């Protein structure tokens, strides 16, 4: 498809910002998208450090705020740097991401489950079978 054909087509609403109009020989046109992602990622990082160090925020809400900011940071990286969207041409990327998240969650949940049940399933040694201490 030529550049003029692409320019006359309507924009795909599911495409990542700056993704659909790039030509292989024009890297400068996509630089703005990466700079916007960099600014947003830096801003979210700065806000996270501010929330963690300030006394202006209600202390019990800090972990929740940091979790929300971390999820927003992941979203910025996925959209602006990895160009993972829900468009029809990105189905494989979204499926690979979902599979990766599933594997990581299985590992985390399985590890927590094993650690919780390990203490309950350990047998205690009876007192009469303990070894005497050498003198």
For residue 40, how far is the Cα from the chain centroid? 14
Averaged pLDDT for residues 81-101: 83
Range among 29-38, 48-57, 89-98, 119-128 with highest mean pLDDT value? 48-57
pLDDT reading at 62 higher than 70: yes
Check the CA dihedral 55-56-57-58 and report its sign.
positive
Whole-number average pLDDT of the chain: 80
Choose among 62, 64, 35: nearest CA to 51: 62
Domains of the chain, by residue range, sit at 8-85, 86-121
pLDDT tens track for 9-57: 555 556 656 555 555 555 666 788 899 999 999 999 999 999 999 989 8
DSSP string, 76-105: HIIIIIS---SSGGGHHHHHHHHHHHHHHH
């Amino acid at each position: 498809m030529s550049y003029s054909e692409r320019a006359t087509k309507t924009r795909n609403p599911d495409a990542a910002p700056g993704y659909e109009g790039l030509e292989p020989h024009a890297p400068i046109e996509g630089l703005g998208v990466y700079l916007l992602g960099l600014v947003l990622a830096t801003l979210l990082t700065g806000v996270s450090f501010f929330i963690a160090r300030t006394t202006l925020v209600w202390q019990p809400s800090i972990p929740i705020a940091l979790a929300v900011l971390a999820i927003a940071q992941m979203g910025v990286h996925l959209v602006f740097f990895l160009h993972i969207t829900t468009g029809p041409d990105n189905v494989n990327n979204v499926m690979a991401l979902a599979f990766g998240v599933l594997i990581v969650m299985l590992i985390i949940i399985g590890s927590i489950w094993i650690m919780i049940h390990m203490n309950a399933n350990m047998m205690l040694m009876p007192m009469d079978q303990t070894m005497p201490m050498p003198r």
